[in-house]
Structure 1
Amino acid sequence: MSADVTRVVVIGAGGHARVAIEALADSGFEVVGCVSGDGGGVPGLPCPVLGRDTEVAALAAAHGATGVFVAVGHNRTRQRLQTAAEAAGLVPVNAISRFAMVSPSARVGRGVLVAAGAVVNAMAQVGDGAILNTRCSIDHDGVVGSFAHVSVGVATGGAVTVGDRALVGLGSVVLPGRTVGADATVGGGAVVVEDVAPGATVVGVPARRTR
């Protein structure tokens, strides 16, 4: 748990927020509520929707929260919202499921989700605002950039680098030592056998560039 932070407001009020809220509880935080772009939320949220995300600092203060977690799937939007929340004085915290495994030698930034079944292995590094989704694995010496999203069931070999804001799609595989460049997209189920250029989209087995 982040020092001196016990109460947290979540930015985002969709299905991803439900996952994050459970992981935040596992990490020892009290979630006072959510905010969203339009002030609404999906059914089944375990906390109230307090208002719009433009009011997050005031709403957090009104509920005694000093921490924030951005539960938004779109990478650039998540980066923008976390940067703005920090500028407003809120502290990004990590949401780590009790069913995840994070090596004691790994380094994890701020505002990171490590979902149930995810594995972060020895000497791995995870940047701020990254999403490590359900059952993904970051093997030894891997690097996940800030605000990247490693999707459900992704397997990365040792010493893989995933660049800032990159999206590695559901169930894909990245072979050891390969790099997925910043802002690149790896399609679901792809097998990455060569480096992926920044901003590129690759799909298939083996993964081939489509743009």
Structure 2
Amino acid sequence: MEKPVIILGATGIAHPALEIFNSNDVVVYGFLDEDENLHGTEINTVSVLGNPEDDGFLKLVGKKAEAFVAVDDVKYRKFLVKLLNERRKVQPINAIHQTAYISTDAVIGHGNFINAKVTVGTGVEIGQHCILNTGAIIDHKAKLGDFVQVGAGSIINSEVTIGEGAFIGSGVTIVSGVTIGKNARVGAGSVVISSVGDNETVFGNPAAKIKS
């Protein structure tokens, strides 16, 4: 990649994203964050320049720089992706750590964060703007929708389907063939042996629905 990258967001996965780009010898131009208290500070010698909605910085995206959205909150992540799509007519790039294993026939969309030691198996389909934290395993023929988050060390077994916006905590195991609905949440350490509906929250071993 010849163009430098501007990272939108300066907390959460922003620092690991910087490390990923560094590991791939990609220059990070700077960070943009809505928190004015962070403006002028540095993350590993890279400056937080200003606000993501500032056209003075956004105009660099496209011709002079690529963009990556490093925001954990799904709602705000969607907002920033839409901002880049509409104002700059670009899609965020992927941030893939060089120690991640991606099968040659996996299909991966735009704007994904794939951290160190993640394994993406054969025939896997990953949507756009997902976050796969350290050591997550996505086994063969699993399908992840857009804006899915998978916690560190979680195991998504073969032919699992995870709907858009779902959150899978750290250390979760989802057995083969299970479906996780849109915007569902699976608590850390859970073992999921049956399908989870849209907007449901489950926790435990075996995972059971938590009543709201």
**TM-score normalised by the chain length of structure 1:** 0.91
Unaligned runs of 5+ in 1: none
CA contact (8 A) 1:60 1:66 kept: no
Q: Look up the match of 1:22.
A: 19
Distance 2:145 2:120 in 1: 14
Distance 1:87 1:190 in 2: 39
The one-letter code sitting in structure 2 at the alignment partner of 1:39 is E
Q: Look up the match of 2:5.
A: 8
Q: Considering only aligned residues, what root-mean-square deviation do their CA atoms show, in Å?
A: 1.8
Q: Find runs of 4+ consecutive structure 1 residues off by over 6 angstroms.
A: none
Distance 1:108 1:27 in 2: 18
Q: Look up the match of 2:208.
A: 208
Distance 2:141 2:174 in 1: 14
Q: Look up the match of 2:85.
A: 86
The one-letter code sitting in structure 2 at the alignment partner of 1:136 is A
Q: Look up the match of 1:102.
A: 102
User: Structure 1 residues 40, 111: closer, same or farther in 2, change over 3 A?
Assistant: farther
Distance 1:189 1:94 in 2: 27
CA contact (8 A) 1:39 1:49 kept: no
Aligned length: 207
Distance 2:107 2:210 in 1: 33
TM alignment of 1:1-211, pairs within 5 A? 1=1, 6-41=3-38, 44-55=43-54, 57-62=55-60, 65-89=64-88, 90-211=90-211
Q: What does the per-residue CA deviation read over 1:22-48, in whole Å, with 9 as the maximum and x for residues that have no partner?
A: 112334432100011123448644411
CA contact (8 A) 2:133 2:151 kept: yes
The one-letter code sitting in structure 1 at the alignment partner of 2:50 is G
User: Structure 1 residues 210, 43: closer, same or farther in 2, change over 3 A?
Assistant: farther
CA contact (8 A) 1:39 1:50 kept: no
The one-letter code sitting in structure 2 at the alignment partner of 1:16 is I
Unaligned runs of 5+ in 2: none
Deviates more, 1:185-194 or 1:43-52: 43-52
Deviates more, 1:37-46 or 1:89-98: 37-46
CA contact (8 A) 2:52 2:58 kept: no
Q: Report 1 or 2 for greater relative contact order, CA contacts < 8 Å, sequence distance ≥ 6.
A: 1
